[in-house]
Amino acid sequence: MLELAWPWMFALLPLPLLAALLLPRARGLFGSALHLPHLGMQLPQQADTSAVPNARRLLALLGWCLLVAAAARPQWLGPPEDIARSGRDLLLAVDTSGSMSIEDMQLGGGAVPRFSAIQAIASDFIERRKGDRVGLILFGTRAYLLVPLTFDLKTVAKQLVDSTIGLAGRETAIGDAVGLAVKRLRNRPQEQRVLVLLTDGVNTSGELDPAKATDLASANHVKIYTIGIGAERMRVDSLFGSRTVNPSADLDEAMLTSMASKTGGRYFRARDSAELAGIYRAIDTLEPAADTKQSLRPIDEWYWIPLAAALVAAALAFALPTWRMRRRLVPA
């Protein structure tokens, strides 16, 4: 259905007519002040008319009408569409410190860095959160809001996939990441503030202590789900042969567990990609996606059609050949 967003703009249509009536007329091209240097010759007071000036006048009026029509913003309203909306605001905070490059996660039959596993699995989790507003925080030495809360889930997932290890620094500022998430969520509806935090280590940087950040989250009713990522056994080759090490020895599980329990969330341990995928499914169950729908009508802006037609009319007016008034020499 065609509608006009600003129909009152058509009140401007008579503006050229009012200007012609109220503004003083310009003096003739060949007024009495024009004198010819040759005696016995003079110009007629009225010039010959032709159809070309009239055509230009009509094109100018047509262009003005089209400009007014474009200013009225014609829009095409499509049929109503049901869009899921839950009102939940979910921030995903992902660790990009240097330790996320450890290749102790299995994905596609081969060993991949921890961050690559998060990118592959978390991006699918993000795209399943239809109806939620999702945002992305990356933290390393500092915490940064990469994508603010948005319904555009594909953009959030793409930004996560395009991110790299060390983008926010090589250390781990868990407290700053939680503090930044609370800052972004505290003005949102109280019942729908959720933070999912993924890390593989201990807080080694930042200005905000994780314990204080947890208290801040609890006071602002931000529920935190923490995920500790990293295998517990990894074979390492060296000059003295291979040996088995624990690449997650620095993981502060006590801190992550306390952070989740104090805010009403839950702590998860992801030792491999399968466990990480299962954790996201569990979070989907604990924080179900939207089950309500909102009916919206898509709007297509059509102002460009009359605007383009106005430009064409103006181009045609200027493209008409320059008409030179014929002058007749008559004896004085």
At 8-39, the pLDDT tens digits run 999 988 888 888 788 776 555 444 455 555 55
At 183-230, the pLDDT tens digits run 999 988 877 899 999 999 899 999 999 999 999 999 999 999 999 999
| Res 300: pLDDT | 87
CA distance 131 to 287: 12
Give me the percent of the chain exceeding a pLDDT of 70: 82
**From 60-74, 233-247, 302-316, the region with the lowest mean pLDDT:** 233-247
Residue ranges per domain, the chain?
Answer: 2-78+298-331, 83-293
Pairing of strands 89-95, 133-139: parallel
Question: What is the model's pTM?
Answer: 0.64
CA distance 227 to 105: 15
Is the CB of residue 218 less than 8 Å from the CB of residue 262? yes
Is the CB of residue 172 less than 8 Å from the CB of residue 96? no
Half-sphere exposure of 323 (CA within 13 A, CB side): 14
Q: Is the pLDDT of residue 83 over 50?
A: yes
Element (H, E) at 64: helix 51-71
Q: What's the fold here for domain 83-293?
A: Rossmann fold (3.40.50)
Pairing of strands 293-296, 81-84: antiparallel
